[in-house]
């Protein structure tokens, strides 16, 4: 690493981005706040769905819908909720729900694997964003019944003019898609919060000098990754 401070763009997540900015600064990098997405809640209904065996969340974007669900069906607070990431799990607990005791999922793949192994006693209700598909496909492939409700959408942020940087941190495949649409022509390195985001980066591998995942989807792992990049020859 040169004497000049390296720059990293923090493009997400939509919520709690300040924690990730601080994590980058802890590694001695200049952290640039460059959100690529904004979230839009959608109206949704349970319809004829009966009580599920489990509720699944793969994004904090579904927490508002979970809170709405508690108002409509208060007894559903006893339905276990399976999440990706401990931070989301704690927010689920704060809403009064029980967190499913499956191995902590770092992404949709690991969460699906845990649920397939457990085989919940009823269908999994997945509260998801409009672009998310992976968890439902993985669960059905593993013989788990799934009911999906689209509870939010993500849209490109209104002000999209990301500055030059050495590394870009992505928190979702949707953010990768938006970045590619910008066609900046730059080839910085890329870091992915989880494996599904890494897969999206790998499909665009020619657009990045490298693409690496975090060890775990939390700010501490971002600090570790940036430290490692800075120490590389």
According to CATH, the topology of domain 40-154 is: Rossmann fold (3.40.50)
Q: Does 7-36+157-231 match 40-154 in CATH topology?
A: yes
Annotated domain spans of the chain: 7-36+157-231, 40-154
**pTM, full prediction:** 0.75
> If pLDDT is split at 50, 70 and 90, which confidence band does 2 have?
very low
pLDDT of residue 110: 84
**Four-residue CA torsion sign, 207, 110, 96, 122:** positive
Give the Cα separation of 221 and 191 in Å (integer).
11
Helix, coil or strand: residue 66: helix
| Range name among 154-163, 177-186, 221-230 with the lowest pLDDT average | 177-186
Q: What CATH class does 7-36+157-231 carry?
A: alpha beta
> If pLDDT is split at 50, 70 and 90, which confidence band does 194 have?
confident
131-179 per-position pLDDT tens digit: 777 889 999 999 999 999 999 998 888 777 788 899 999 998 888 888 8
Q: Is it the case that residue 102 has pLDDT exceeding 70?
A: no
Give the Cα separation of 3 and 52 in Å (integer).
56
Give the Cα separation of 102 and 113 in Å (integer).
10
Could you tell me which residue, 59 or 149, shows the higher pLDDT? 149
Residue closest to 111 by CA, chosen among 123, 99, 102, 119:
102
Q: Is it the case that residue 87 has pLDDT exceeding 80?
A: no
Give the Cα separation of 78 and 96 in Å (integer).
9
Give the Cα separation of 27 and 127 in Å (integer).
35
């Amino acid at each position: 690493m040169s004497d000049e401070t390296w720059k990293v763009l923090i493009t997400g997540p939509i919520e709690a981005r300040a924690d990730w900015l601080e994590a980058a600064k802890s590694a001695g990098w200049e952290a640039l706040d460059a959100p690529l997405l904004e979230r839009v809640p959608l109206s949704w209904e349970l319809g004829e769905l009966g009580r599920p065996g489990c509720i699944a969340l793969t994004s904090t974007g579904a927490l508002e819908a979970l809170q709405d669900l508690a108002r409509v069906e208060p007894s559903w607070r006893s339905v276990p909720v399976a999440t990706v990431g401990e931070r989301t799990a704690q927010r689920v607990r704060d809403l009064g729900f029980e967190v499913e005791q499956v191995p902590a999922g770092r992404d949709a793949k690991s969460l699906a694997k845990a649920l397939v192994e457990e085989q919940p006693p009823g269908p999994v209700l997945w509260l998801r964003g409009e672009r998310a598909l992976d968890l439902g496909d993985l669960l059905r492939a593993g013989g788990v019944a799934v009911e999906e409700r689209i509870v939010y959408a993500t849209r490109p942020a209104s002000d999209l003019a990301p500055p030059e940087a050495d590394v870009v941190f992505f928190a979702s495949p949707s953010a990768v898609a938006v970045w590619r649409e910008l066609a900046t022509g730059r080839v910085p390195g890329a870091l992915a919060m989880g494996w599904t985001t890494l897969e999206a980066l790998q499909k665009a591998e020619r657009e990045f000098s490298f693409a690496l995942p975090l060890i775990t989807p939390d700010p501490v792992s971002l600090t570790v990754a940036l430290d490692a990049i800075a120490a590389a020859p």
